[in-house]
């Protein structure tokens, strides 16, 4: 049985007189312990799909099943804590006038109850940060440090699934690599799964077991990361992949 599964998910947004079909009949599966990558250009529906999965929004059509059971539109606290989102804007994902420690405590209290206390020392060890940094405000930390704390906050509620939306897009290249390794290590060691969204196929292919390619609200390709890169079946995937290869070739020209 799949840990998580989505079937026939559609979502339309109205914008003034017109409407946008952000998701059209999207399906996906996520196995226990798997890292699923979702790649596609800006506007292809990746963030919209994560919002439906996380429960931030309710799809117009379709169903999402957790351990084979459909999730109801109104999630329980338990169901919310099963999936934790991590966003691109790590600094902005923390309250500006609270210390990191206080923000993490608040999340844990909301999802696990008032009596639950996060162990900041262990969490910092997991994400490789000095615990004294937890007493700072988000603006006094680097983007990479905030992203590690965002991962710590997610791990603090002991989720089964991490939902990562462009989590490395705002970081410099070396922090990007560290955050990718951190997420993949955490998933392997703690037996967690992840859905990892990025517009960057190179990023996705480094940490994902399987990749889904989205284009204009639809899934156009899906398969093992290596197979999708080596033998893309769909025209759009082929273009996406050849553009990445072009960039790589240009970089190697120096
Ligand atoms: N709240 C919203 N209201 C109106 N249109 C939206 C909203 N959110 C997303 N969209 C539109 O839905 C499409 C998919 O957006 P999004 O899921 O953000 O794509 P991606 O994350 O792949 O860049 C885009 O055309 C976007 O403009
Ligand atoms: Mg997005």
* CATH entry, 4-253, from 3.20.20.140, 3.40.50.720, 3.40.50.300, 3.40.50.170: 3.40.50.300
Measured from the Cα of 51, ligand 1's closest atom is: 17
Question: Looking at residue 247, what is its pLDDT?
Answer: 66
For ligand 1, atom 9: residue with the closest CA: 48
User: Contact at 8 Å (CB) between 220 and 229?
Assistant: no
Question: Looking at residue 21, what is its pLDDT?
Answer: 97
Question: Looking at residue 252, what is its pLDDT?
Answer: 66
Question: Looking at residue 243, what is its pLDDT?
Answer: 77
Give the DSSP H or E segment for 187: helix 173-190
Strand partners, 37: 196, 211
For ligand 1, atom 2: residue with the closest CA: 13
Longest CA span, the chain: 58
User: Contact at 8 Å (CB) between 195 and 164?
Assistant: yes
Question: Looking at residue 33, what is its pLDDT?
Answer: 95
For ligand 1, atom 4: residue with the closest CA: 13
Q: Determine how β-strand 193-198 pairs with β-strand 161-165.
A: parallel
- List pocket residues of ligand 1, CB cut-off 6 Å: 13, 15, 20, 22, 40, 42-48
Q: 46 C-alpha to center of ligand 2: Å?
A: 6
User: 65 Cβ partners below 8 Å, 6+ apart?
Assistant: 2, 4, 5, 6, 7, 71
Measured from the Cα of 45, ligand 1's closest atom is: 17
Residues of the chain with pLDDT under 70: 245-249, 252-254
E strand intervals along 115-217: 161-165, 193-198, 210-215
Tokens of 23: 């998701």
Q: Domain segments of the chain: what residues?
A: 4-253
Question: Looking at residue 206, what is its pLDDT?
Answer: 86
Question: Looking at residue 72, what is its pLDDT?
Answer: 86
Q: Which of 21, 22, 41 is the pocket-test mutation for ligand 1 (most atoms within 8 Å of CB)? A: 22
Q: 90 C-alpha to center of ligand 1: Å?
A: 20
Measured from the Cα of 49, ligand 1's closest atom is: 17
Q: Which ligand is nearest to the CA of 38?
A: 1
CB burial class (10 A; 0-12, 13-18, 19+) of residue 120? buried
Q: Which of 10, 38, 45, 197 is the pocket-test mutation for ligand 1 (most atoms within 8 Å of CB)? A: 45
Question: Looking at residue 253, what is its pLDDT?
Answer: 63
Strand partners, 86: 164
Q: 241 C-alpha to center of ligand 2: Å?
A: 19
Q: 18 C-alpha to center of ligand 1: Å?
A: 13
Measured from the Cα of 48, ligand 1's closest atom is: 17
| Percentage of the chain exceeding pLDDT 90 | 80
Measured from the Cα of 165, ligand 1's closest atom is: 21
């Amino acid at each position: 049985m799949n840990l998580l599964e989505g079937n026939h998910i559609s979502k339309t947004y109205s914008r003034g007189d017109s409407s946008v079909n952000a998701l059209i009949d999207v399906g996906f599966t996520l196995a226990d312990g798997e890292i699923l990558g979702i790649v596609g250009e800006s506007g292809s529906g990746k963030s919209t799909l994560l919002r439906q999965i996380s429960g931030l929004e309710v799809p117009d059509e379709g169903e999402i099943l957790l351990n084979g059971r459909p999730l109801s539109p109104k999630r329980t606290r338990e169901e919310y804590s099963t999936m934790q989102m991590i966003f691109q804007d790590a600094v902005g994902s923390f309250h500006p006038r609270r210390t990191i420690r206080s923000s993490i405590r608040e999340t844990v209290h909301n999802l696990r109850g008032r009596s639950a206390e996060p162990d900041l020392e262990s969490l910092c060890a997991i994400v490789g940060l000095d615990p004294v940094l937890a007493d700072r405000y988000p603006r006094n930390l680097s983007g990479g440090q905030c992203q590690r704390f965002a991962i710590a906050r997610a791990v603090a509620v002991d989720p089964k699934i991490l939902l990562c939306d462009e989590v490395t897009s705002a970081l410099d290249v070396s922090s990007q690599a560290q955050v990718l390794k951190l997420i993949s290590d955490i998933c392997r060691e703690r037996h967690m799964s992840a859905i990892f969204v990025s517009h960057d196929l190179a990023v996705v292919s480094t940490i994902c077991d399987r990749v889904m390619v989205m284009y204009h609200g639809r899934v156009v390709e899906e398969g093992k990361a290596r197979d999708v890169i080596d033998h893309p079946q769909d025209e759009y995937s082929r273009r996406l992949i050849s553009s990445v290869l072009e960039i790589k070739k240009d970089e190697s020209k120096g």
